[in-house]
């Protein structure tokens, strides 16, 4: 990794440890390309411990996806509780996540969508807790956000859905409530489209970078409900009819 990459990784780790977001990122520390941003991701993850899974998403069904690791220390089953003081941004997204049944290791031949799809064991309703290490994440270059784990703070997942392969992902309804009050509702709300493409892209991305997906990894595939914000003491609950629900509380 380059010296600017190492400096950015150190600043991101300091922001995580001290809770002081980065207010002004010098242009010289913005990764020069996606490869440099992913190198920073990997450096930060190595310093923070085991990876339990991944987040992957895309702005449209045609655009190139991007991904970031989910750190095991911030992944929990529903109902989950995370301290609001640790995650002051309080961003909440209702998502669908997939747990893998088998390894998809590095290999010369690319993985196809159907092969990756058949490697999935279970589908779960989920909530991503969004937290940036930048004071104003909206003002940052996308490569800086990519280096910062795509603003992942924490993650929780509900029970596995029954008969999930019958789900019509492009027409799946979802709703999100804060303290019992519905704040978002959508049908087929994932901007990336069908998750098959995302999972296959992720499998090949990780294989190229020398790791690969592992049995037991959980992969969340982007928001179905948009991003809303919650404060201390609030419980967020996402419901996917026919699939299930997940709940996350930001403790005071």
For the chain, state the CA radius of gyration. Answer: 17
pLDDT of residue 20: 86
Domain ranges (residues) in the chain: 52-251
Give, for all 252 residues of the chain, the pLDDT tens digit: 889 999 999 999 999 998 689 999 999 999 999 999 999 999 999 999 999 999 999 999 999 999 999 999 999 999 999 999 999 999 999 999 999 999 999 999 999 999 999 999 999 999 999 999 999 999 999 999 999 999 999 999 999 998 999 999 999 999 999 999 999 999 999 999 999 999 999 999 999 988 899 999 999 999 999 999 999 999 999 999 999 999 999 999
Q: Give the pLDDT confidence score for residue 1 in this predicted structure.
A: 80
Do β-strands 173-178 and 152-157 pair in parallel, antiparallel, or remain unpaired? unpaired
- The residues, ordered by sequence, that sit 6+ positions from 174 with a Cβ below 8 Å of its Cβ are 94, 184, 185, 186, 187, 189, 224, 225, 238, 239, 240
pLDDT score for 245: 98
Q: Closest by alpha carbon to 7, among 25, 24, 26, 29?
A: 29
pLDDT at 210: 80
Q: What is the pTM of this model?
A: 0.96
Chain Cα centroid distance, residue 61? 17
Phi, then psi, of 137 in degrees rounded to 5:
-65, -25
Taking the C-alpha atoms of residue 126 and residue 246, their distance in angstroms, rounded to an integer, is 6
CATH of domain 52-251: 3.90.850.10
Please list, in sequence order, all residues whose beta carbon lies within 8 angstroms of the beta carbon of residue 28, skipping any fewer than 6 positions away.
Answer: 4
Produce one character per residue of 214-249: b if its CB has 16 or more CB atoms within 10 Å, e if not: eeebbbbbbbbbeebebeeebbbbbbbeebbbbbbb
- How far apart, in whole angstroms, are the C-alpha atoms of residue 155 and residue 131? 11
Q: Residue 162 CB: number of other CB atoms within 10 A?
A: 11
């Amino acid at each position: 990794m380059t010296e600017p990459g190492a400096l950015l990784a150190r600043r991101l780790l300091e922001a995580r440890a001290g809770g002081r977001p980065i207010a002004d990122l010098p242009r010289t520390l913005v990764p020069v390309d996606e490869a440099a941003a992913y190198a920073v991701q990997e450096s930060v993850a190595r310093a923070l411990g085991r990876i339990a899974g991944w987040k992957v998403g895309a702005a449209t069904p045609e655009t190139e996806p991007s991904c970031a690791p989910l750190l095991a220390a911030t992944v929990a089953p529903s109902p989950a509780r995370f301290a609001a003081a640790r995650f002051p941004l309080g961003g909440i997204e209702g998502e669908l996540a997939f747990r893998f049944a088998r390894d998809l290791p590095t290999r010369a031949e690319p993985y196809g969508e159907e092969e990756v799809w058949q490697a999935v064991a279970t589908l779960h309703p989920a909530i991503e807790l969004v937290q940036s290490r930048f004071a104003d994440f909206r003002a940052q270059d996308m490569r800086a956000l990519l280096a910062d784990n795509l603003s992942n703070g924490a993650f929780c997942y509900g029970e596995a859905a029954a008969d999930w392969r019958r789900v019509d992902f492009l027409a799946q309804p979802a709703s999100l409530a804060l303290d019992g009050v519905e704040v978002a509702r959508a049908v087929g709300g994932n901007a990336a489209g069908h998750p098959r493409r995302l999972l296959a892209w992720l499998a090949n991305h990780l294989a190229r970078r020398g790791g690969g997906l592992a049995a037991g990894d959980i992969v969340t595939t982007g928001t179905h409900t948009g991003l809303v914000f919650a404060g201390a003491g609030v419980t967020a609950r996402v419901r996917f009819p026919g699939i299930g629900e997940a709940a996350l509380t930001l403790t005071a």
